[in-house]
Each structure stands twice: as structure tokens, then as C-alpha cells.
Structure 1
């Protein structure tokens, strides 16, 4: 009896640490310890504990925590908030982690109002970050840094720095910051492809203002797409292939570390699925392999290099999507595994390789593609010019094609910031206003902002989709060409006069990137 209890004691401690399993652990100790039932560790009945380390798991957690905690930082986001950006106040902090100050769903409007009135020395939001090099590079989430006029980084030893934002990627919700320091503790990226469902992990961050908090759980699923990036209109080409974990994650954990029992970084905590805005058993992290690729691109090129296959597709694993497609297209496609090609883009790599509408993609470079999440990360983690082997089913027969990936403009070369167009640099596209609209609203000029990128220069000054830009640097604009002509090769401060959704006119500025 005593030996059995001794063996199981570390697992009970882990259950108590994870918070969500405390009640189950207490129930366990009230039963005969010989029953061997360890299902109290999770409410989910289909989680496999195969591969669980049979050694002293508690000791492993202690070592991993000691390695991880010094490398996880607090990030404070300071914003110049005005009434001009009230249409965009419900930012990704709400959608990912609820109110960053801890307000519940019904309190968000009131909290946002208070947040607008906060003095300049109060942060608009707080999250976490992970030091990934001894010279001060820090990885976090895009939504942690979005809209910031100043970013403050606080180490676990309370030392504070003002950080430089090196770059962001809304499509993966990853950002890269830099502080000027040497000899910092840091974490190594692990190969996230090697993680297994059921293995132990730790989530480390700063939830609810509680610095350097460690929670334990397991990997409860891989390759999870939850529709949170593209679903909120914040990402044009989202890549969602999250690691799902039941380690407790709450507001403030955003951008923190998900590590294995060696203390290696396997993911960046990004989201929770919850009806309350707080932990209810499901957390999601960007896998380390994808996060590392984004960071490498930002450091080397200044922007993310994204390869595209050149197809639109239907996720056959989604029964509802398939049913809707069949209804709308009067088709008879069967649900199952893989993605069904619905459109092939002209002059794309897919078209060049002979892929056609109706093909079912089942593998990329030999790795199984069961759903759209698999496809998005398999292709989205490649660069323009990279070649991938696509396995697909056509008329019941398996075929393979070697596809050279291209960027959205059809190029196969990598680009730097210097290669970007004006609208790409400032983060928005523009459409002309009709003459009728100008007459009705008494405007002599104007263009409508479209596809405003989260965290872009245009977004930072409060412009969102459908706001009207009247002038740039004192010159009237009536087309996207006008915007490009004014700002092409311009490197100074930019003055933008615009009209918000309420008809109020503002003039705001930014430095041309």
C-alpha cells in the first residue's frame, strides 16, 4: 500500500498544481489506492497517457520551471488612445483572452471606456514574452503588441527595458521584439513535430497580473484550427495549427512559453476557448517550428516570407462545410480526410504543376494532410521558391506533383522591406470614393481604407476598414495611385487626415517605415 502511494504521489502533486484537477485528486485519495484509476487528471475521457514518463514527474517539472521562468517576461503595451480609434477598441485581447485587465464579458464596454481615460503611464494591456537569445530577442504574440506606441519589457528579476518592435505577423499571431542587453537567460526551440498527445507540458507566463506563474498539463491535441485568426478579420491568410493543452492559461499568459519537461520551447501560448474569457480547460499555442520560421524571416528579411500553393480548398474533415458546399454547388462530395481543390489560381505553382479543381490533396512532402489546418501549416511554413511534393487523389487514383511555391504576386524570390509597395509598408489598401458619395457628404477628395493590417502604421493611428482618408501630407487623395505617389521613396513623418465612421475628422501621423 505504502509503495503504491509513494509511486503515485508525484502524479497527485501535479494534479494539485494544475488547479483544474484538484477536486479529482482529492477524490482519488478518498478511494482505495489499488484501483489504478488515474482518469481524475482530466475531464476528457479520450486522452491517452501513453508515453508518460514513469519517473519522478514532479522533479522534472521543477527542473523545467527553473529553466523556463527566468526566460519569460512581462510585456506592457502602452497606446496613445483617442476617440478616433473607438471602432477598433475590441481588439484581439478580447477575442483571445478576454479583457487584458480582467474584466468579464458584460464589463468590457465599461472597462474599455476606463482604459481610454487611463493616463499615459498606464499600460493599455499586458501579456508575456519569451527570450530566445542571450542578446535580447523576445518572441511574443502579435495581439500582445498590436497598436502599441511603447512596449515595456519586465524580466522575472523585475528589471525593466523599453523594447523595439522588430516585426509582426498577424497570420500566425507572432511578434518579435528586441531589448538591449547581453547574457540573458533564454529558451531553445524544440522540434514541435515530435511532440505527442498525452505528454506533459508546462505553461509559463504572467496571468491576471501574477508574475512568473507555472501551470502543468498535457498536450491534448495537435494541429488544431479554431478559426480565431481569420475569423476576426485580423489576418488575411491565417495559419492555424495550434497545440492544444489543458495546462491552465488565462489573460496575461498570451505570448508566454509552452515547454516540455526538458524546458525546451515547444509553443507560444496564444488563445483559450472559453465562455467566460477565463480558463475552462482548453488552451492553444503556436507550434515552435512555425514560430521559429516566422522569427527567422523577420530577423533576416524584415518581413515574413510566405509561399502559396495557389488553390482554394474545402476541408473534407468538416462535415458542415461539406454539406453547405454540396447544397450551394449542387455537388455530391463526400466528407472524409484531406482537402478538396475548389479553385486553382492562374499562374500559380499549383496550376503550373497540373493540379486541377476536384483533386483531393492528401499529403505534402509525405506528411498526411487530414484537414485545412494541416495544409495551411505545411505550405505556409515554406518560402517562395521552395518546392513541395503534393500527393493528391484524382478519379480514385493517387498522383504526385512537384510544386514550386510562389508569393501572392506570383514571384518565386524572397523580398525585403525595401521591396514592399507603399500600401504594404503602411498596412492598408485604398478604394476610390464615388462622385455621388463625395457630393452627398460634401467631400472634395477621399479614398476608403480596406484590408487594414492589425498593428500596421495606419492601424496605429486609429484607421480601420471603411474609414475615409481625405489627405496625406496636406495633399488630396482620390485613388490608391495618389497615395503611392505621395509616399513613394518618402522617409519622413506622414500626416493623415481622415474621417471615422461617425463623421468626425482627425489628423494623425506616423513615421514612414
Structure 2
């Protein structure tokens, strides 16, 4: 399975394959005496009143309420000839979006849900390593409404969610689905304008995510943003056409952490991302299969140098994770925290060695 960046007129980018399975469980009940049946019937009726699901009208009303409250906080962003989405972060006109939406641009045209007239905005800071960026409107229109962000650690599989953005340039579009999984680690790649970011703890959703949704909002039924839609899956067997119902969003807690630092300091001061402190490249074996990461250079004072890792070493394991490519190394590091102590298995001059390393910060 490959992952497509959700931005208009961009190529698809690869990511490691994901596998998942489903199980269906059913139950049954037996008959008792007539008295027991009556009590059971009464208890069942009471329980049904307590936990009865929303009716169709109630659910529709809930959707409409969320859309009415949140959609004004979701904007369309034009960066050069490309279109993406963004979320109003505060009442000062700051908007959070994906780094791949802003690309290399410094100025933007922004269209809000309540206006057809484009506003101008400038870049505050872009952080490609987490595929997040903040831009700021040059003029804050009256009535601009900031979105509310949820604690994404409380997001649960099965929650109903709405994706809001500008797929294929269709501004203020909404799709519906559920949270399919949490804790996914996904890599973008660098082709077609991708940032090459490996992002941990992403929220997987069945809500339709299409080109142009990037930077928009994935919202729960409390009207809170739980993530920023960033990637959508494609199926190579179908000519890299979309694999419906498999999209990924950067969790809202990470969005708040990064955007908060950018707003306070003008840059990211504490990424929370573990780093080994090397420049590396994927190497292949005699059968042309990826076989490890060759260390090209080590950062002075970085984790690798302190552990005695040298240029020319080939890394094959980080902790218990097999390392065959740069992407697999990035994904292994994404599961760690700065300051974590782990081991690195490497090959040096034909012999295998294992060294202990205390990870630094990216």
C-alpha cells in the first residue's frame, strides 16, 4: 500500500505497508421462568432507554450542529498554483496547516467559509519534519472564529468523525466516517513535493480524504478538532488509484504542541522527536535488497558520535527493530523519545557490533 499526499496536482508518495484485520462477535440469550422473563424484559427496556443509539434525525442534527459550528474555522489556502486547507488557530488570524501545503511559498491567498473574497497571508514558520506550518492573515476579518482542539490521547476507535476541507478545490466540503485506528506511524517520502516526514501516532480514519483536504480538520461530534488530515492511501494494484476509506491525520495534541511553539518563539524549540544524529543512505546486498543504513556523516556532539558510531558503519538494528532503509530507521526513531537509551547494531569492516546510545532530539 502506498500513501498519497492529499494536495491538489501532486504525485503519490510511498509508505511502508499497513496490515489490519477485523473480527465480528455476536451473543445469544436463553429463556427462564415467566417471572424472570418479565423482569428481564423490564430491565432490557430500561437499559435500552439508557443506551439507545441516536435516531436518524438526532444524528443528522448532531452533524449539522458540528458543521455549523466548525466549518467557519476551516479555510482554503492557495500557495502558488496549489490548493490546500487550513484551520483558524486563534483570533489573531493565525492558521495551522500542513508544511506540504505551504511548500516553498511565503505568501498565500486564503478564503474563509463565509467569504468568496480571498484574504492575503504570510508564512510564520514551516516545520517539514512534522509536516506542520503556521501562516498569519495580513488582515483579520470580523467574525473570524478559532477552532477548538481536543486532547487526541482520548480519541478512540469507532468514534464518528467529520473531515472538513477543500478536496479538489471544492471549498467547505464535509465527509463522514469513523476513527479506524490510532497510533499509526506513517512516512511521506519526498517525491511530488512531500516533506519526507515520518509521523508517529497518526489517527487513521474512514472519512474520505482527497487531494486538497490536507491541512483541514478532522472533527469529533463535540465540535473539536482531533487531527489534521494529511495523507490518504492508494492501491498500487489499481494503478495507484485511491484506496477508499484509509486516510491519516496528525493528532491534535501534536498540532497544538508544534503550533504553540511556533507562535511563542517563531520556530520549533522542542520537537519531542528522537534523533540519532547521522546523515545516512540505504545500502543493498548482493541481491540488490535493502540491507541497512550506511552512516555518511555524524553530527558533532550528537547521539551517534557520543556512542562511537562512525562514518562507514552500516546500521542494521535499532533496539529490537530491523533497519533496512532510511524509512525504517525513521519509523524506529519515531517510536522513541529524546533521552531514551537503546542499542544500535551495526556492521563495521565486515564485523558486527552493538553499541548503547542515548538518543538526542531532532
Question: 1:195 Cα shift?
Answer: 1.9
* Distance in 1 (alpha carbons) for counterparts of 2:332 and 2:219: 22
Q: Secondary structure at the residue paired with 1:221? A: strand
Q: Once the two structures are superposed, what CA deviation does each residue of 1:157-194 show, in whole Å capped at 9, x if it has no partner?
A: 11542112111122222221111326521212222233
User: Is 1:172 the counterpart of 2:130 in the alignment?
Assistant: yes
| Change in 2 beyond 3 A, CA 1:219/1:251 | same
User: Which of 259, 266, 289 is the aligned partner of 1:302?
Assistant: 266
Q: Which has the higher contact order (CA 8 A, sep 6+)?
A: 2
* Distance in 1 (alpha carbons) for counterparts of 2:230 and 2:290: 38
* Distance in 2 (alpha carbons) for counterparts of 1:47 and 1:74: 39
User: Is 1:405 the counterpart of 2:348 in the alignment?
Assistant: no
User: Is 1:240 the counterpart of 2:199 in the alignment?
Assistant: yes
More helix per residue: 1
| Change in 2 beyond 3 A, CA 1:393/1:141 | closer
Q: Secondary structure at the residue paired with 1:388? A: coil
In structure 2, list runs of 5 or more residues that go unmatched.
Answer: 1-19, 26-50, 322-327, 346-355
Number of residue equivalences: 281
Alignment of 1:376-395 (within 5 A): 376=334, 378-379=336-337, 388-390=339-341
Instruction: State the Cα RMSD in Å.
Output: 4.1
* Distance in 2 (alpha carbons) for counterparts of 1:233 and 1:214: 25
* Distance in 2 (alpha carbons) for counterparts of 1:185 and 1:252: 21
Specify the alignment match of 2:90 in structure 1.
133
Specify the alignment match of 2:66 in structure 1.
64
Whether the 8 Å contact between 1:176 and 1:295 is mirrored in structure 2 is: yes
User: Which of 126, 134, 153 is the aligned partner of 1:193?
Assistant: 153
Question: 1:203 Cα shift?
Answer: 0.4
User: Which of 282, 297, 316 is the aligned partner of 2:246?
Assistant: 282
Question: 1:258 Cα shift?
Answer: 0.8
* Distance in 2 (alpha carbons) for counterparts of 1:371 and 1:55: 45
Question: 1:45 Cα shift?
Answer: 5.8
User: Which of 207, 210, 214 is the aligned partner of 1:254?
Assistant: 214
| Change in 2 beyond 3 A, CA 1:170/1:310 | same
TM-score of the two chains, using structure 1 as the length reference: 0.46
Moved more, 138-147 or 59-68: 59-68
* Distance in 1 (alpha carbons) for counterparts of 2:156 and 2:285: 33
TM-score of the two chains, using structure 2 as the length reference: 0.62
Specify the alignment match of 1:269 in structure 2.
229
Question: 1:341 Cα shift?
Answer: 9.6
